[in-house]
Amino acid sequence: MTGGLILLLVATVAIYLGLGQRLLDRMRLTDKQALFFLLAMVVGSFITINLAPRGAVSLNIGGGAVPLILAVYLLATADTPAERWRGVLAAAVTAGLLYGLVKLFTFEFGRTFLDSLYIFGVVAGLTAYLVGRSRRAAFAGGVLGVLALDLLHLMELRTRGLPGRVAIGGAGVFDSLVLAAFLAVLLAELVGEARERLGGGPVKERIPAAQRREEEAEGGDHEH
């Protein structure tokens, strides 16, 4: 079992046990939605669809299609246009940085302290958080940035007429994507929580999610 699958299964169990509710609420996700996407990624990781003859281009459902849909959904439900654009910018910067790493360094097996796929995941997660800042923008930036690297590789092969296969969201890229997404969101949550505690915490974050929704439906004064 790969590292990416282990992370997904741990997150699934944690959410099933009711952990991480505050984080999910801030990302505008319910428990059921989060469990659906996590399980879809786990099951979908075993499903690959060929998009070109002889498997020259393929799409992994769990590592490509499902996280792409989730990232787009989170950006579409962002609180402000600024947050949405930060997510897009985070994806572009992350993809560009990863592409530069691929071109500048040769990651040979046994010559780095970590597998290159995990290095990419850590770099993508850190970059996505620093640029995206919010939880949703950071998640979307990490996921879309890693997926964009596959697309850049495909464009390079087609432009230069080089042979090769591209598995979008598949192979080891799945582990990089999952690590990047988890790290980006975890950093945003930890730093955000620390800032709130140091600053006394915004009132709206201390109101239970269900109560906030009820008050908003009744025209309450609290902000969402």
pTM: 0.82
**Is there a domain that residue 216 lies in?**
no
pLDDT of 218 higher than 80: no
Residue 67 lies in a domain: yes
Averaged over 145-167, what is the pLDDT?
90
Query: Does residue 204 have a pLDDT over 90?
Result: no
Residue 39 is part of which domain span? 3-200
Q: What is the mean pLDDT of the chain?
A: 84
Task: Tell me, yes or no, whether 174 lies in a domain.
Answer: yes
104 band by pLDDT with thresholds 50, 70 and 90: confident
Residue 220 lies in a domain: no
Looking at residue 114, what is its pLDDT? 61
Q: Please report which confidence band the pLDDT of residue 223 belongs to, taking 50, 70 and 90 as the band edges.
A: very low
Question: Is residue 205 in a domain?
Answer: no
pLDDT at position 76 is: 93
Count the domains in the chain.
1
**Is 157 within a domain?**
yes
Q: What is the mean pLDDT of residues 18-29?
A: 85
pLDDT of 18 higher than 90:
no
Q: Which residue has the higher pLDDT, 114 or 223?
A: 114
Question: Would you say residue 124 lies in a domain?
Answer: yes
pLDDT surpassing 50 at residue 70: yes
Q: Is 56 helix (H, G, I), strand (E, B) or coil?
A: coil
For residues 109 and 189, give the distance between their C-alpha atoms in angstroms, rounded to a whole number: 33
> Helices in the chain by DSSP H: which ranges?
3-16, 21-26, 31-44, 66-76, 81-104, 116-132, 135-160, 173-198, 209-217
pLDDT band at 46 (very low <50, low <70, confident <90, very high): very high
Do the domain assignments include residue 206?
no
First-to-final CA distance of the chain:
40
What is the average pLDDT across 12-24? 86
